[in-house]
Structure 1
Amino acid sequence: MAWSTRQLAELAGTTVKAVRHYHELGLLDQPERAANGYKRYGVEHLVVLLRIRRLAGFGLSLAQIADMERTGEPPAEALRLLDAELAEAVERLRRIRAELAEILARRLPPELPAELAPVAGRLSHEDRSLALVMTRVYTPEAAEAYIDLLRDIEPHPVDEVFMNLPADADERARRGAAEQMLPLVRGVLADYPALDRSGLPPADAARTGEVVTAMMRVLCNPAQLDVLKRVGDRLAEEREPPRGTWPDTRPAGADSREEDEEPAP
């Protein structure tokens, strides 16, 4: 029994192009040709082709299959690695299905982490957009803290003051909003320290900062951005001493003169 290239490809469930590619790689021997010049494949070619298709279906590369064909032994290490990769893929798919089940059951916004399910209903479109970005660019520790914050935080009068601040708010209104917001932000950073400076990945802090800044410019008007900057500047001043000075770590009441300085006569 002999088959043409097209017939062989159809029997193996592949394409003529794939058969020719296997010839080029040396995976499949060239068949003899009939008197009219056409290739004539036999059972041995079909067996090899089916074996290639079987191993490729497992996820082995053509290079790995070529090694196995050359040595005549199955690539045990490659198969073990493949099995480990498949186990990870199965676990990932299991987690995805569990999240999808929760999203469908609770009719949740699919872009939000499943941990935000309890509070998804009270998050505005802007809050959801911000959560989506922050949980992506923050470090894992900071992202977890941010999710905890969204779940735990209760509405505060300062939120309404900030959200209702008009774009053309005057200096007094901006300063007042910043003064009201400062204690609230201090409390948040005290309760969720991972949201402080460690929130941005050190290796990519510049680009991450640009993403966060761009996001805030979309969500906030100029006056609100100014308030956020004032709060950030004040917190930075509280964390660090003024330039050119050093914090005095001596006990209270200690003499300001050097210890080895002789007393004045």
Structure 2
Amino acid sequence: MAKKSWSTRQLAELAGTTVKTVRHYHRVGLLDEPERSRNGYKNYQVAHLMRLMQITRMRELGLSLAEIGAMGRADEDPDQALAMMDAKLAKTIERLQRIRAELAVFFKHRAPLGTPAPFESIAEALSERDRALITIYSQVFDSGALGDIRKLLGEHTDAEEELEQLPSDADDATVEALAYRLAPVIAGHQARFPWMAEPGKASSKGEKFALEGIVPAVAELYNAAQLRVLARTHEIIKKEHSAP
């Protein structure tokens, strides 16, 4: 009696998957190639169906193809397979719990999604410019520096508020006067948080990376008069620090 077998299409239909998927599993080495008949057609047996169903089930349980491949034949060592899946689920649960905790903070403070930690609690009160800056800072500075920036954003001085509102056509006298009011504020920040005098040192990715991230952003987000104030402010601070 001739040995019964299935074609690729029949195997895929029995397993509830597609011919394309079966062929992909062959390519990545998860499913053994079957023998072929004289006319060249593949002849799948029960073992192929069982393996395909096993792969399908493990995919449903959340394992990636790479993980399934690394696991080998799960039916030969079910304890190892179950332990791997349990460990993966534990990590997934931990990740989802962390995400839920972060979402709770967003809900509590009505912070826009995408607000980096630790700025969620003040995000609603920030200007559009500050929101853009903290997004960039979060990619440049380490967690300690971000915590310091968070503190300062909650302590805006009158001079800093005036800089925020300064029009682009402000005259030289206005720029100079504001720079002199702002200089002691910035110097105070630098005394309180020394890394602010050399911001590149607070970047885990290096000073060059920090400057390449911050400088273009500041140039785009501040108008011409504000940039003049900032430049003049740093000149004043540098001059005062270099004075005998």
TM-score category of the 2 structures, normalised to the smaller one: 0.7 to 0.9
C-alpha displacement at 1:134, in angstroms? 1.6
> Could you say which residue in structure 1 is the equivalent of 2:51?
48
Identity percentage over the alignment?
Answer: 36
Q: Among 102, 121, 125, which residue is 2:128 paired with?
A: 125
After superposition, what is the alpha-carbon deviation per residue over 1:183-206, rounded to whole angstroms, capped at 9, x for unaligned? 111222233344442554264322
Q: Distance in 2 between matches of 1:23 and 1:121?
A: 53
> Could you say which residue in structure 1 is the equivalent of 2:170?
169
Matched residue SS, 2:168 = coil
Structure 1: unaligned runs, 5 residues or longer: 248-265
- CA separation of 1:91 and 1:23: change in aligned 2, threshold 3 A: closer
Q: Among 18, 23, 28, which residue is 1:20 paired with?
A: 23
Matched residue SS, 1:58 = coil
TM-score using structure 2 length = 0.77
> Could you say which residue in structure 2 is the equivalent of 1:58?
63
Matched residue SS, 2:31 = coil
Q: Distance in 1 between matches of 2:9 and 2:24?
A: 14
- CA separation of 1:138 and 1:238: change in aligned 2, threshold 3 A: farther
Q: How does 1:207-246 map to 2 (within 5 A)?
A: 207-237=209-239
C-alpha displacement at 1:8, in angstroms? 0.9
Q: Distance in 1 between matches of 2:236 and 2:122?
A: 31
Q: Distance in 1 between matches of 2:122 and 2:204?
A: 30
One-letter code of the match for 2:95?
R
Q: Distance in 2 between matches of 1:86 and 1:137?
A: 32
In the alignment, structure 1 residue 159 sits paired with structure 2 residue 160: yes
Contact kept in structure 1, 2:182 and 2:233, CA below 8 Å: yes
> Could you say which residue in structure 2 is the equivalent of 1:103?
106
After superposition, what is the alpha-carbon deviation per residue over 1:2-38, rounded to whole angstroms, capped at 9, x for unaligned? 32211211222332123223334373141453x7654
- CA separation of 1:146 and 1:87: change in aligned 2, threshold 3 A: farther
Structure 2: unaligned runs, 5 residues or longer: none
In the alignment, structure 1 residue 90 sits paired with structure 2 residue 90: no
- CA separation of 1:230 and 1:202: change in aligned 2, threshold 3 A: farther
C-alpha displacement at 1:222, in angstroms? 1.4
Contact kept in structure 1, 2:109 and 2:121, CA below 8 Å: no
In the alignment, structure 1 residue 138 sits paired with structure 2 residue 132: no
Matched residue SS, 2:151 = helix
C-alpha displacement at 1:136, in angstroms? 2.4
After superposition, what is the alpha-carbon deviation per residue over 1:188-247, rounded to whole angstroms, capped at 9, x for unaligned? 2233344442554264322321221222122211121111112223434555x58xxxx9
Q: Distance in 2 between matches of 1:180 and 1:206?
A: 30
C-alpha displacement at 1:74, in angstroms? 6.7
One-letter code of the match for 1:188?
H
Q: Among 1, 9, 12, which residue is 2:12 paired with?
A: 9
C-alpha displacement at 1:111, in angstroms? 2.4
- CA separation of 1:195 and 1:13: change in aligned 2, threshold 3 A: farther
Rg larger in structure: 1
TM-score using structure 1 length = 0.72
